[in-house]
Structure 1
Amino acid sequence: MTVKLVLGLDIGTSSVKFLVSDSSLNTVYANSIAYDLVYPSEGYVEMDPKVWKKIILDELEKIFNSDFADNIKVICTTAQMHSTVFLDSDGDTFRNAILWNDRRTINQIPEIRDVLINTLGMTKNANIISTGSPLANLIWLKKYKTEEYKKIAKMCMVKDYINYILTGEAVTDYCDASTSCLMDLATKKWSDKIIKHYGFPNRIFPEIKNSDKRVSFLGASLKKRFHLHNDVAVVVGTGDNAATMAFINEFSKSNLTISLGTSGVVLSEIKNLSNVGKNILFGSENGLKIISQTSLSTCGEIIEWWKNEITRNNEYLRLSDISEKDIVSNKVIFIPYFAGEKYILKNRNILGSFQELDLTASSKKMGLSIFEGIAFALKLLYEEQNIPLAGSINVVGGGARNDLWLLILANVFNRVINTFNLNVMSVHGSIIIGYKYLQTPVSSDYLTMIPLKPQSKYVSYYQKKYKKFKKYVHLINCSNG
Structure 2
Amino acid sequence: MYYIGVDLGTSSLKLLLMNEKGKVQNIVSEKYNLYFPKEGWAEQNPQDWWSAFETGILKLLENYDTKKVKGISFGGQMHGLVMLDDKDEVIRPAILWNDGRTQKQVTYLNEKIRKEKLSEYTANIAFAGFTAPKILWVKENEPDNFRKISKIMLPKDYIAYKLTGVFCTDYSDASGMLLLDVKNKCWSKEMIQICGIKEEQLPALYESYDVVGRISEENAKKFGMTEDVKIIAGAGDNAAAAIGTGTVGGARCNISLGTSGTVFISNDRFEVDPNNALHSFDHADGKYHLMGCILSAASCNKWWMENILETENYAEEQKKINRLGENSVYFLPYLMGERSPHNDSNARGTFVGMTMDSKREDMTLAILEGVAYAIRDCVEVARNLDISIKSATICGGGAKSDLWCKIIANVLNIEIKRLETEEGPGYGAAILAAVGCGEYENVEIAALKLSKEKIVIKPEKELAEKYDQKYQKFRKLYPKMRNIFKELNQ
TM-score (norm 1): 0.89
Which region of structure 1 is more displaced relative to structure 2, 198-207 or 434-443?
A: 434-443
Amino acid of the residue matched to residue 457 of structure 2?
L
Partner of 1:398: 397
Partner of 1:280: 281
Partner of 1:165: 162
Partner of 2:459: 454
In structure 2, the CA distance between the partners of 1:138 and 1:254, relative to structure 1 (3 Å rule), is: closer
Residues 378-412 of structure 1: per-residue CA shift (max 9 Å, x gap): 11111112353333221111111111111111111
- Classify the secondary structure of the residue corresponding to 1:295: strand
How far off is 1:56 after superposition? 1.8
Partner of 2:290: 292
How far off is 1:448 after superposition? 4.3
> Using the alignment, how far apart are the partners of 1:44 and 1:329 within structure 2?
36
Counting only pairs closer than 5 Å after superposition, residues 76-87 of structure 1 correspond to structure 2 as 76-87=73-84
> Using the alignment, how far apart are the partners of 1:145 and 1:309 within structure 2?
33
How far off is 1:42 after superposition? 4.5
8 A contact 1:47–1:99 mirrored in 2: yes
- Classify the secondary structure of the residue corresponding to 2:434: helix
How far off is 1:135 after superposition? 0.9
In structure 2, the CA distance between the partners of 1:411 and 1:234, relative to structure 1 (3 Å rule), is: same
- Classify the secondary structure of the residue corresponding to 2:133: helix
Residues 322-351 of structure 1: per-residue CA shift (max 9 Å, x gap): 34xx33543333333334333333333343
8 A contact 2:74–2:429 mirrored in 1: yes
2:207 to 170, 193, 210: 210
Partner of 1:474: 479
How far off is 1:444 after superposition? 6.0
How far off is 1:456 after superposition? 2.2
**Is 1:307 equivalent to 2:305 in the alignment?**
yes
In structure 2, the CA distance between the partners of 1:191 and 1:309, relative to structure 1 (3 Å rule), is: same
**Is 1:248 equivalent to 2:249 in the alignment?**
no
Partner of 1:149: 146
Counting only pairs closer than 5 Å after superposition, residues 324-343 of structure 1 correspond to structure 2 as 326-343=323-340
How far off is 1:445 after superposition? 7.5
Counting only pairs closer than 5 Å after superposition, residues 41-440 of structure 1 correspond to structure 2 as 41-61=38-58, 66-117=63-114, 120=117, 122=119, 125=122, 127-249=124-246, 255-270=252-267, 271=269, 272-274=271-273, 275-284=276-285, 288-316=286-314, 320-323=319-322, 326-385=323-382, 386=384, 387-440=386-439
Residues 352-383 of structure 1: per-residue CA shift (max 9 Å, x gap): 33334334332222322322222122111111
Which region of structure 1 is more displaced relative to structure 2, 34-43 or 274-283?
A: 34-43
Point out where structure 2 has 5 or more consecutive residues left out of the alignment.
441-445
1:19 to 11, 16, 20: 16
> Using the alignment, how far apart are the partners of 1:426 and 1:189 within structure 2?
24
- Pair member with larger Rg: 1
Report % sequence identity: 29
8 A contact 2:73–2:232 mirrored in 1: yes
> Using the alignment, how far apart are the partners of 2:96 and 2:102 within structure 1?
12
In structure 2, the CA distance between the partners of 1:280 and 1:195, relative to structure 1 (3 Å rule), is: same
Partner of 2:443: none
- Classify the secondary structure of the residue corresponding to 1:383: helix
Which region of structure 1 is more displaced relative to structure 2, 211-220 or 363-372?
A: 363-372
In structure 2, the CA distance between the partners of 1:118 and 1:19, relative to structure 1 (3 Å rule), is: closer
Residues 97-156 of structure 1: per-residue CA shift (max 9 Å, x gap): 222222332332211222331694536758542334221222122223223222222111
In structure 2, the CA distance between the partners of 1:254 and 1:451, relative to structure 1 (3 Å rule), is: farther
Point out where structure 1 has 5 or more consecutive residues left out of the alignment.
none
How far off is 1:480 after superposition? 4.8
- Classify the secondary structure of the residue corresponding to 1:378: helix
- Classify the secondary structure of the residue corresponding to 1:140: helix
In structure 2, the CA distance between the partners of 1:200 and 1:408, relative to structure 1 (3 Å rule), is: same
Which region of structure 1 is more displaced relative to structure 2, 273-282 or 311-320?
A: 311-320
Residues 40-94 of structure 1: per-residue CA shift (max 9 Å, x gap): 4444432222222233234445556654211110011221111121122233323
8 A contact 1:379–1:413 mirrored in 2: yes
- Classify the secondary structure of the residue corresponding to 2:357: coil
8 A contact 1:117–1:126 mirrored in 2: no
- Classify the secondary structure of the residue corresponding to 1:293: strand
> Using the alignment, how far apart are the partners of 1:328 and 1:58 within structure 2?
46
Amino acid of the residue matched to residue 193 of structure 2?
K
Which region of structure 1 is more displaced relative to structure 2, 84-93 or 411-420?
A: 84-93
8 A contact 1:319–1:403 mirrored in 2: no
8 A contact 1:420–1:449 mirrored in 2: yes
Amino acid of the residue matched to residue 306 of structure 1?
W
- Classify the secondary structure of the residue corresponding to 2:197: coil
Amino acid of the residue matched to residue 215 of structure 1?
V
> Using the alignment, how far apart are the partners of 1:479 and 1:321 within structure 2?
34
Amino acid of the residue matched to residue 268 of structure 1?
I
In structure 2, the CA distance between the partners of 1:9 and 1:320, relative to structure 1 (3 Å rule), is: same
- Classify the secondary structure of the residue corresponding to 2:78: coil
> Using the alignment, how far apart are the partners of 2:241 and 2:395 within structure 1?
9
In structure 2, the CA distance between the partners of 1:376 and 1:72, relative to structure 1 (3 Å rule), is: same
In structure 2, the CA distance between the partners of 1:132 and 1:337, relative to structure 1 (3 Å rule), is: closer
> Using the alignment, how far apart are the partners of 2:25 and 2:257 within structure 1?
26
How far off is 1:230 after superposition? 4.9
- Classify the secondary structure of the residue corresponding to 1:266: strand
In structure 2, the CA distance between the partners of 1:424 and 1:117, relative to structure 1 (3 Å rule), is: same
8 A contact 1:25–1:447 mirrored in 2: no
RMSD over aligned CA atoms reads: 2.8
TM-score (norm 2): 0.88
In structure 2, the CA distance between the partners of 1:358 and 1:61, relative to structure 1 (3 Å rule), is: closer
